[in-house]
Amino acid sequence: MSMDNLNPHGHDQSVGATEEARRRPATARQFDIRRVIGGLFTAYGAIVTLIGVFDGDSAIQKAQGVRINLWVGLGMLVFGVLMLLWQWRNPIEPPDTSGEEH
């Protein structure tokens, strides 16, 4: 162990730095806006689709014979799933801060 990695209390800083480096990508992915938007659209799309499946005749007549809740819900569901797939296929990379001094 070199003296360069010791903090003023005599503890090895490299252990904490590697743990922080492991947590950083997970934190960056957690706050990816695509995950938030995809999750909300998927949840709301599922709810609106279910409402559209069980619409009564009066709701269908209000929409001039179109099952508007069903079609809008399916559209929201598809959009939400596409956002989640995009986030899963192309995750963001956190900036490299290994050269920065704290």
* Tens-place pLDDT, residues 49-65: 999 999 999 999 999 99
Q: Are 78 and 48 in contact (CB under 8 A)?
A: no
DSSP 3: G
Give me the pLDDT at residue 75, please: 98
In this structure, is residue 77 part of a structural domain? yes
Instruction: Give yes or no for a contact between 41 and 76, defined as CB atoms under 8 angstroms apart.
Output: yes
Task: Give the structural domain span for 57.
Answer: 33-91
Is 21 inside a domain boundary?
Answer: no
- The angle formed by the CA atoms of residues 52, 58 and 61, to the nearest 5 degrees, is 85
54 phi/psi in degrees, rounded to 5: -100, 20
* Beta bridge partners of residue 12, listed in sequence order: 6
* Domain presence at residue 50: yes
Give tens-digit pLDDT for 33-89: 999 999 999 999 999 999 999 999 999 999 999 999 999 999 999 999 999 999 999
* pLDDT band at residue 31 under the 50/70/90 scheme: confident
